[in-house]
Structure 1
Amino acid sequence: MKTFARLSTLAVCTLAAGTLTAGSSAFAGASPLKDGADAPRAGTSPIARVPAARTKSAEDGDDRVFGGREAAKGAYPFQVALLASNAIDESPQSQFNAQFCGGSLIAPGWVLTAAHCLVDSGAPIPAGVVTALVGATSLDEGKRHAVAEVIVHPGYSESTLDNDIGLLRLAEDADAPVIALTDADREEGAATVIGWGRMETGYFPSTLMEAEIELTANAACNAGMKEIYARDLDMILQAYAPRLRYSVAAVSDATKEIVASMSDPLTGNMLCAGTTDGVRDACNGDSGGPLFAVEDGKPVQVGIVSWGEGPMDAEAACGHANAYGVYTRLANYRDWIAEKMAN
């Protein structure tokens, strides 16, 4: 799923497959999609994968930020960091490596996030394995809150990331401002995404990052991703051509026929946003965080960082031209959220 220069958030993005080689290993890791689901997007849950990547990034000492900018202290008090409980101790500094997803405070006792942040091995994670950090701009500050209940949308699909939405009920109310949820669907206009996710260099920041992007029609995301799939498919078929003795012309014909039969990657429950050049995007560790527009001077959440796409030989599946980022379309879930919070 990015920031800025990516604000590196999405979840929704995982490291893509390595360089394609001929032979039986050519398809190893050649995942067609990205962060969050089983085969298409990620081999492991963010709660295990992202903290490990954050730790390695800190050890490498890469501290450069590209594209976006650091958020001002206290600018987004509704932003929540999800921490792996087993990775934190009494030290606030331990919170940096423990962060694996984002979320938003939508009521004093409720955090909204992505379902793929709350699922591991096909089942919802136990409440005790996740801690919500509220009121932090830097990951060495804020107040920790125990989680009393994990709620994953019953229609969530690990294979397509449809219905990628979940809720955390906190054990006690948080004393922080909340963000309003949109009451109207939209596919155009300026928006902002925030998070502590992976940067272009592989570095994970300690300070919350922000980036301005544009809401875009789903057709743009679908078309851009199909172009990526076509290039990946062509690469795979070309690699096998000498061994299986088929022609370059056959590769071209087969690629066109398969691409023409592809269904759209996005469903109606997904929202497309980003920039045409891919410079500003969300990535690993941003998943679950808010995508919001500003109305009457106040932020209104319209989406949840969900997933993204990139070529299989790229270092990361985020920040690619014409690929954009994919977010959960919140306008479709107002009733579900209200029902769960009322129970």
Structure 2
Amino acid sequence: MAKASADLHQRPAMKTLVFCLLLAGAFAAPSGKPTFRRGLNKIVGGTDVTPGELPYQLSFQDISWGFAFHFCGASIYNEHWAICAGHCVQGEDMDKPDYLQVVAGEHDMDVNEGNEQTVILSKIIQHEDYNAFTISNDVSLLKFSQPLTFNEFVSAIAIPAQGHSASGNCVVSGWGTTVEGGSSPDVLQKVTVPIVSDAECRNAYGQNEIDDSMICAGVPEGGKDSCQGDSGGPLACSDTGSDYLAGIVSWGYGCARPNYPGVYCEVAYFVDWIKANAV
């Protein structure tokens, strides 16, 4: 399935240079799959999150242009590490990413509410088997240059047991536009989407497009989904009785289109890798 340029959506107000760089990166994305969900768009069909409601959510930002540019989400694993998507860090400096930062406790990007903690990265670990053409093993780890201070607005999210299969309704969150190519509010958004079976997801995208280590979520009628800029952010499920990180926003055909659920990296396949590397 070829990626169409119409699937690329950015915030109009951003500087031309940044837009061109993102556009070039998107056209360099694998031709066999739709565009990554990296950019400045957000949850489709969602609602505002209240401050502190999702304390594990991070804004992943580039500060090399002289201003903070949100381009992906991430999730807090512990005081020293975050879990993100592999494609969010593709091409970045893994050993000295001091031009990248995360913001914990962020809610409204246009307002300093006093709960934010901004930390520069000191190291990035991308999965050694990440494949930019198949978007396989789309997971990475972000190491903070100083530890986060946990409180009611900033805290970690649990990860599942290795091999656990998520089910039921889950919450995906992030910042960006409410529709493909639309305007982007500054307040963190969330939307509830049900897990879709691998068989149903393969029927939508093709039998060879969905790996066992991917998980899909969405509603058949569309209208609720993650989108560009949500990449790397959390899909949180609670079928175990408490919230845990079931998926990492990865890719999809457009945003919230009928019969095309969002595709996520399935965290349960990478628990041993996360524990071995986030040390």
TM-score scaled by length of structure 1: 0.66
**1:300 equivalent in alignment to 2:241:** no
Task: Summarize the alignment of residues 117-156 of structure 1 with structure 2, pairs less than 5 Å apart.
Answer: 117-120=88-91, 126-139=96-109, 140-141=111-112, 142-156=116-130
Selected match of 1:197 from 153, 176, 179? 176
- Tell me, yes or no, if the aligned pair for 1:35 and 1:41 is still in contact at 8 Å: no
Q: Give the number of the structure whose residues are more often helix, by fraction.
A: 1
* Aligned position for 2:190: 210
Aligned partner letter, 1:203: S
1:307 Cα deviation from its structure 2 partner: 0.5
- Tell me, yes or no, if the aligned pair for 1:82 and 1:133 is still in contact at 8 Å: yes
- Tell me, yes or no, if the aligned pair for 2:37 and 2:249 is still in contact at 8 Å: no
- Tell me, yes or no, if the aligned pair for 2:205 and 2:260 is still in contact at 8 Å: yes
- Tell me, yes or no, if the aligned pair for 1:109 and 1:172 is still in contact at 8 Å: yes
TM-score scaled by length of structure 2: 0.80
- Tell me, yes or no, if the aligned pair for 1:117 and 1:288 is still in contact at 8 Å: yes
1:119 Cα deviation from its structure 2 partner: 0.5
Task: Summarize the alignment of residues 50-199 of structure 1 with structure 2, pairs less than 5 Å apart.
Answer: 50=39, 67-89=45-67, 95=68, 98-120=69-91, 126-139=96-109, 140-141=111-112, 142-175=116-149, 176-183=154-161, 184-199=163-178
Selected match of 1:275 from 219, 222, 225? 219
Higher Cα radius of gyration: 1
- Tell me, yes or no, if the aligned pair for 1:35 and 1:307 is still in contact at 8 Å: no
- Tell me, yes or no, if the aligned pair for 2:56 and 2:104 is still in contact at 8 Å: yes
1:288 Cα deviation from its structure 2 partner: 0.3
CA distance in 2, matches of 1:113, 1:211: 19
Aligned partner letter, 1:109: H
Aligned partner letter, 2:118: R
* Aligned position for 1:324: 261
SS at match of 1:223: helix
RMSD: 2.8
1:148 Cα deviation from its structure 2 partner: 0.4
1:279 Cα deviation from its structure 2 partner: 1.1
CA distance in 2, matches of 1:180, 1:133: 19
1:108 Cα deviation from its structure 2 partner: 0.4
Aligned partner letter, 2:276: E
Unaligned runs of 5+ in 1: 1-12, 18-33, 55-64, 90-94, 227-262, 310-316
Aligned partner letter, 1:329: E
1:132 Cα deviation from its structure 2 partner: 0.6
User: Sequence identity of aligned pairs in percent?
Assistant: 26
| Higher relative contact order (Cα pairs below 8 Å, separated by 6+ residues) | 1
- Tell me, yes or no, if the aligned pair for 1:36 and 1:158 is still in contact at 8 Å: no
1:221 Cα deviation from its structure 2 partner: 1.2
How many matched pairs? 249
**1:16 equivalent in alignment to 2:11:** no
SS at match of 1:182: coil
Comparing 295-304 with 153-162, which one deviates more in the overlay? 295-304
CA distance in 2, matches of 1:37, 1:157: 11
Provide closer, same or farther for how the CA distance between residues 289 and 171 of structure 1 changes in structure 2, counting only shifts above 3 A.
same
> 4+ residue stretches of structure 1 with deviation over 3 A?
34-46, 123-126, 295-298
* Aligned position for 1:264: 208
Aligned partner letter, 2:259: N
1:68 Cα deviation from its structure 2 partner: 1.4
CA distance in 2, matches of 1:198, 1:107: 29
